[in-house]
Amino acid sequence: MSSKAFAQADWTTSARVPEDGRANILNLPQGEFEAYRDAGKIHAQIYPVTVTGVLPPVQPVRNFIEDRSWNPLKELLNKVIRNVTGFTSFDGFLARLGLHTYPKETDQGVYAVPYPDNRRPQTRMGYGEIDRAGATGFTFSCAACHASELFGKRVLGLTNRFPRANEFFVKAKKITGYYNSWFFQHWTNATAAEAALMDEAVRNLDRVEVKDPIVLGLDTSLAQVSLSLNRRSTDAYATPSPLAQKNPRKDPILDDYPADSKPAVWWNVKYKNRWLSDGSVISGNPIFTNIIWNEIGRGADLKVLENWLAQNQQVVDELTAAVFSSEAPHITDFFPAEKIDIGRAKLGEQAFKQSCARCHGLYEKAWSLPGSETWPKEMQLRTTKVIPRRNTPVEDVGTDPYRRLGMKSLEQLNRLSISQKNGIVIQAQEGYVPPPLVGIWARWPYMHNNSVPSLCAVLTNSKQRPTAYYAGEAKDPNADFDFECNGYPLGQKTPQSWREADFYYDTRKRGMSNAGHDEGIFLENGKEIFTVEDKKNLIQYLQTL
């Protein structure tokens, strides 16, 4: 059933997006769809690609991190990179990378996930282990970047606000230049099989090129994929090329310019027929495509990967079903429905239809149904139907251009046989996709580069938006969230614990501009078309989506 269903899915821009999107993108019967979705959520937590390129051995790394004795390997590496000896536990290392703990057994709905083996793991979402050649290695899956904490709940499919997956590869690359197999085996008590697994990971990292993000919270996977391809031979991307690894091809864009963006939420993909923030994936299953990109960025042999994908189509289908069926959290799960003034929200709905719907779609509300005034307020606030644009638009509204410009470098993926065999086409765009706004309340900070801290700032003339702000985890709904503005609390309201360099967002940095998305939308000839009250109404409406 799976292969047939996959073949029937239309992954091109000729597919028209129906009302309420394509949650069941593979058109599976209900029972099979639910089984695929749940299996896919487990794949999202524990990486299923057993031929992954970088697979460090678990126990030696754990021994290295938790060793309390004097260790010359730690001393050496601490001189190469910072914080090597700062972890006291393997779990602390995973926490540093931004991995979140699993939802509790009592969590329900979008705040729950099916557990592997039906038991809540003691590890973190996104961490997984794979056995290979007599040793056990560890790797990271989708949840490392696409799961987040939201006021004490875990949400799979929500942007991880502070992922450090890139940091793992940046530091690993620095270490490889000092790596010695005998030294590693001796000072970590690795077995011969574990040392061989580490040797393989180091060799594969030679095919990988990395860049630090502009700021914590953004991801540089685009650059990692494209620059890593530049370390492979031009005529045979699937095979290692020592010459290319030592002298990678120059990239006129990504060598010098940033192309950072935040990890996207999952529940939006069902409402689109082109993918990524700039809509540059114009053909091909975006989940299948993402696996290929992951493995290019992990130095995998693409011939081996191509064979694995051909033999594991159901795994891809399951992960696809999970991502496309993802649902957004509701604001009333965390705040009383009474905090939303329905009268204001209805006025905001009218303003939205006048200025926003042409790009962001329409949303039918329960409060418009006959007799709804007698329903509980939480029910009145629900969205009953999402009507996205049938053909996903790309618009240039003056926002920071670096991310979309970087996609030109990634068009080289079109030349890969693995792309051509699976209908994957990348085409750089002249703007960005106006995203569907389902769950927009939970997606602060805003813009693809996290340059705008709240909806208040989004609705403000870009020249008057905050130039800089501090960010932090969404743990306390009262202290860590400005409900009225829907986003980060600013100024004196900023929690003291956030005031660190890692959490400082400076929009004057290249690639972090907060310009755009105002003239022709909220401004006419530089003058605002919305009053202060209009903006409050619009935010109240957006919070219900």
Q: Return the domain boundaries, the chain.
A: 2-324, 331-393+436-542
Sorting pLDDT into bands at 50, 70 and 90, what band is 23? very high
Average pLDDT over residues 525-545: 95
Q: Taking the C-alpha atoms of 439, 440, 445 and 448 in order, what is their torsion angle to the nearest 10 degrees?
A: 100
- How many C-alpha atoms does 311 have within 13 Å on its Cβ side? 10
Of 54-58, 69-73, 279-283, 480-484, least confident by mean pLDDT is: 69-73
CA 476 to mean position of chain CA atoms: 23
Contact 351/538 with Cβ under 8 angstroms?
A: yes
Of 216-225, 241-250, 263-272, least confident by mean pLDDT is: 241-250
Handedness of CA 441, 443, 444, 450 (dihedral sign): negative
Question: What integer pLDDT is reported at residue 235 of this predicted model?
Answer: 55
Q: Is the pLDDT of residue 2 over 60?
A: no
Contact 5/26 with Cβ under 8 angstroms?
A: yes
Q: Is the pLDDT of residue 324 over 80?
A: yes
Q: Taking the C-alpha atoms of 158, 164, 165 and 166 in order, what is their torsion angle to the nearest 10 degrees?
A: 120
Question: What integer pLDDT is reported at residue 178 of this predicted model?
Answer: 83
Tens of pLDDT, residues 497-533: 999 999 999 999 999 999 999 988 988 888 899 999 9
Rounded CA-CA distance 165/213 in Å is 10
Contact 283/274 with Cβ under 8 angstroms?
A: no
Average pLDDT over residues 309-326: 97
Average pLDDT over residues 112-128: 96
Average pLDDT over residues 76-83: 62
Q: Is the pLDDT of residue 6 over 50?
A: no
Q: Is the pLDDT of residue 1 over 90?
A: no
The values of phi and psi at residue 22, to 5°, are -120, 70
| Token pair in block for residue 31 | 């029972």
Q: Is the pLDDT of residue 283 over 60?
A: yes
Residue with tokens 């940095």: 509
User: H or E stretch including 532?
Assistant: helix 532-542
Q: Exposed, middle or buried, 264 (CB in 10 Å: 0-12/13-18/19+)?
A: buried
Which residues are within 8 A (CB) of 396 and not within 5 positions of it... i.e. 6 or more apart?
430, 431, 432
Sorting pLDDT into bands at 50, 70 and 90, what band is 88? confident
Average pLDDT over residues 48-76: 86
Question: What integer pLDDT is reported at residue 168 of this predicted model?
Answer: 87
Contact 348/539 with Cβ under 8 angstroms?
A: yes
Question: What integer pLDDT is reported at residue 217 of this predicted model?
Answer: 94
Average pLDDT over residues 221-249: 76
Q: For residues 326-363, b (16+ Cβ closer than 10 Å) or e, as one string?
A: bebbbbbebbebeebebebbebbbebbeebbeebbbbb
Q: Is the pLDDT of residue 110 over 50?
A: yes
Q: Report strand pairing: 504-506 vs 468-470.
A: antiparallel
Contact 206/228 with Cβ under 8 angstroms?
A: no
Rounded CA-CA distance 394/407 in Å is 14
Q: What angle do CA 51, 55, 57 make, to 5 degrees?
A: 135
Q: Is the pLDDT of residue 7 over 90?
A: no
Question: What integer pLDDT is reported at residue 241 of this predicted model?
Answer: 60
State the DSSP code for 269: G
3-state secondary structure of 372: helix
Question: What integer pLDDT is reported at residue 86 of this predicted model?
Answer: 62
Question: What integer pLDDT is reported at residue 390 of this predicted model?
Answer: 95
Sorting pLDDT into bands at 50, 70 and 90, what band is 187? confident
Q: What is the CA radius of gyration of the chain?
A: 23
Q: Report strand pairing: 153-156 vs 147-150.
A: antiparallel
Rounded CA-CA distance 440/328 in Å is 9
- How many C-alpha atoms does 278 have within 13 Å on its Cβ side? 24
Rounded CA-CA distance 85/78 in Å is 7
Q: Is the pLDDT of residue 85 over 60?
A: no
User: DSSP readout, 461-476?
Assistant: -GGGS-SEEE------
Q: Report strand pairing: 281-283 vs 135-140.
A: unpaired
Question: What integer pLDDT is reported at residue 526 of this predicted model?
Answer: 85
Global confidence as pTM: 0.94
Which residues are within 8 A (CB) of 473 and not within 5 positions of it... i.e. 6 or more apart?
149, 161, 162, 480
Average pLDDT over residues 232-236: 65
Question: What integer pLDDT is reported at residue 77 of this predicted model?
Answer: 67
Average pLDDT over residues 191-196: 97
